[in-house]
A and B are shown apart, each in its own frame.
Chain A
Amino acid sequence: MNAIEVRQLTRRFGDFTAVDDLSFSVGRGEIFGFLGSNGAGKSTTIRMLCGLLRPSSGTAVVGGVDVGADPEGVKRRIGYMSQRFSLYEALTVDQNITFFGGVYGLGRERLEARRAFVLEMAGLRGREKTLTRTLSAGWRQRLALGCAILHEPPIVFLDEPTGGVDPLSRRRFWLLIDQLADEGITILVTTHYLDEAEHCHRIAVIDAGRLAAMGTVAELKQLLAGRPIVEVRAGEPVAAMRALEAMPEVEKTSMFGTTVHAVLRAAGAAPGHLVGRLQEAGVAVSSCEVVEPSLEDVFLDLVERSAS
């Protein structure tokens, strides 16, 4: 049985449809990514899956429990961590763990065992008496994760869990997530960091409340098959972008840092061709080559396609 089974899930707020006919399933031990821009409906979906928000229509079964029928039953089977690392900042590390242990009804013995585990996992041993407010973001993030999995839930929801955290802590966090998945815990994570999405076993791209695409990273990249991406480095990237857009074989362009990515309409057009034409247009090109599509290329393609 799948850990999460979502069928035609829809949520309307008045005239606005925040989540529109969403269907997907997540297997046990899978890291499932929810990718989408702000306001795409990621958080609304999570809130429905956690039993906080009633679906307008459709069903969602989480850990074998129908969310619409038994929201309280769902809450006992899941862990939840939000981007705000919702801990009590005026309490110490230990007191936060004790509180969440109490909230989930952990007995004394189990709480102590789990406390040891969380302190170890978060690297907070020796800081039990530290006020949470004085911890760095990375530590607070790991403590929040620890509090969310204190009661050993089979399914964990992470709502943009890496906001405001330094890259090193982010890397460490994802290692922890991988470990949890290896232990058979199902993870559903929302993010708008595309590099992070690459950690996910499968990804659902959400746009305007609808499922725009779903699959592994490799599968998603296949969406751009037959339309090569050319990366151009030039002295004046903006001028290069304008010149590329004027060419008939270029479908669209987008800026990637200091380079320009051009999506070509069809395979076969040699990059050397473009260099010559760019130089004719007066753009000094330092390099021009076909590259593998990144997830960002795919995401931009999906979002722009649905916008037009």
Chain B
Amino acid sequence: MSLARSAVAVGVKEMRQIGRDRRTLLILLFVPAFFLLVYGYALNFDIRNVRLAVLDQDRSSASRELVAAFVNSGYFQLVGNLTASGEVNDVIDHDEARAVLVVPAGFGDDAATGRPTRVQLIINGDNANTATTVMAYGQSLVAAQSARYEMQARLRRVSGQPTGVGEVATSGAGRARPPSLTVEPRVWYNPELRSTLFLVPGLIAYIAMLTSVVSTALSIVREKEAGTMEQIRMSPVGPVAYVVGKTLPYFAIGLVSALGIVWLSMLLFDLPMRGSWTLLVASIALFLVGALGIGLLISTVAETQQVAFQIALLSSYLPTLMLSGFIFPIASMPVALQQVTYLVPARYFLVALRAIVLKGVGLTAFWPQLVALAVFAAALLGLASLRLRRQWA
């Protein structure tokens, strides 16, 4: 009896079962999309509309200009003008404002004359992530404004134009300023630093992992529970034909589902698809084979669907979420934990996926990742089939 023929028999049977089991089919096809929507919109590290109060002790055109720069940036939303420094504590304590911009008296004069001056930005640090981001926004806004003042002051000096209020302050005009060293950051591939763009490849990995591991493990363990596995073992169908027939449908569904997420992300989150679709499909396929291997391995260990589900969650959900670089950058993990991430296939998949989707680079840039995925797939499938073969007869 040919291997292909029994594999086809098993595969057709599996497809019919999946088709009949609406719930599973729904989980396989629509839960990924649901995940994408929820995580895509909720897992957003960008911070907008930070509530800002202003204590303007200067009340000059320059101070108003600075406040306008904050508001117009889109990151801040003006919620109130304070009149006394005693009010600062109040608005922060009652969470009426996340940040308070204090402009000291004399700011306008100093700005106009190019004299070093300071503004104060008070930030509520109860959420460290938000605080860090707000601080960075504030610093870059002030830096931009400061550069403008400096430029204006310099222009005035060069042209020798009389400058109203600033005139008194230009006493040190003759002194040559040292050229200031500035960084001009330019972010490639995701110039607006939208975290969605960064997260979507992770989501694809996460969803593909979860659905294919869980569905493979459950479908095989279900056959163990129902006794149909034993019935097949009594037949001439060998373990290889069984596994091929059993996993191929889930592989196909996983591929369709993963490509569906890519497509949906392009539609909803303006995910650019800069690289080659062939490479994308090949990488996803390689990753899915590894995931099926994990599912298969679980099915050789677990005797009940409940146990299989729990192991599947622990072995695919948590590592992919925590240790793949999906949410937490690997570089900022403790060294020991960094070593562990090498055992998480999603880690490699993520790099490859970001390279293809965001950078649009070719194979030369990320082939080691694909090699790692291939090694994982081979090792997992090998181990699983070894165990299965031993259990089979």
Contacts and interface: CB of A to CB of B under 8 A. Distances in A.
Nearest to B232: A103
Given A76-B1, A76-B236, A88-B228, 11 more contacts: A50-B234, A52-B230, A52-B393, A84-B227, A86-B230, A88-B13, A90-B16, A95-B13, A99-B9, A102-B9, A103-B232
B237 interface: yes
A222 B312 CA distance: 58
B20 interface: yes
Interface residues of A, number: 29
Interface in B100-126: none
Interface string A32-57: 00000000000000000011111000
Nearest to B24: A90
A75 B230 contact: no
Contacts of A51: 393
Interface in B351-387: none
Top 6 closest A-B pairs, CB basis?
Answer: A102-B9, A84-B227, A86-B231, A86-B227, A105-B1, A80-B234
A102 B241 CA distance: 12
Interface string B262-303: 000000000000000000000000000000000000000000
Nearest to B229: A86
Interface string A55-88: 0000000000000000110011010101010111
A82 B227 contact: yes
Contacts of A78: 234
A24 interface: no
Contacts of B187: none
A112 interface: no
B2 interface: yes
Contacts of B393: 51-54, 71-72
B128 interface: no
Contacts of A120: none
A105 B6 contact: yes
22 contacts: A50-B234, A75-B234, A75-B236, A80-B234, A86-B230, A86-B231, A88-B13, A88-B226, A90-B17, A91-B20, A98-B12, A100-B235, A102-B5, A102-B6, A102-B9, A103-B6, A103-B9, A103-B232, A103-B237, A104-B1, A105-B2, A105-B5
A78 B228 CA distance: 16
A182 interface: no
Contacts of A102: 5-6, 8-10, 12-13
B20 A86 contact: no
Nearest to A105: B1
Contacts of B9: 99, 101-103
B16 A91 contact: yes
Contacts of B230: 52, 82, 86
Contact of A103 (B20, B227, B236): B236
Interface in B1-28: 1-2, 5-6, 8-10, 12-13, 16-17, 20-21
Interface in B170-207: none
A236 interface: no
Contacts of B157: none
Given A89-B226, A91-B13, A52 B233 contact: yes
Interface of A: 50-54, 71-72, 75-76, 78, 80, 82, 84, 86-91, 95, 98-105, 131
Contacts of A71: 393
A296 B312 CA distance: 49
Contact of A80 (B6, B12, B226, B231): B231
A51 B2 CA distance: 19
B21 A90 contact: yes
Nearest to A72: B236
Nearest to A133: B20
B231 A82 contact: yes
Contacts of B5: 102, 105
Contacts of A75: 234-236
B229 to A, nearest CB: 8
A115 B2 CA distance: 22
Given A88-B13, A90-B21, A103 B226 contact: no
Contact of B13 (A86, A99, A131): A99
Nearest to B8: A102
A65 to B, nearest CB: 12
B226 A84 contact: yes
A30 B166 CA distance: 117
A98 B5 CA distance: 13
Nearest to B19: A90
Contact of A52 (B10, B21, B226, B234): B234
A138 to B, nearest CB: 18
A99 B12 contact: yes
Contacts of A98: 12
A104 B227 contact: no
A90 B226 CA distance: 11
A106 B238 CA distance: 16
Contacts of A91: 13, 16-17, 20
A47 B346 CA distance: 41
B236 A105 contact: yes
A270 B58 CA distance: 127
A90 B9 CA distance: 16
B102 to A, nearest CB: 69
Interface in B210-242: 226-228, 230-238
Contacts of A52: 230, 233-234, 393
A53 B233 CA distance: 11
A99 B223 CA distance: 14
Contacts of A101: 9
A40 B213 CA distance: 39
Nearest to B9: A102
Contacts of A89: 226
A137 to B, nearest CB: 14
Contacts of A82: 227, 230-231
A82 B227 CA distance: 8
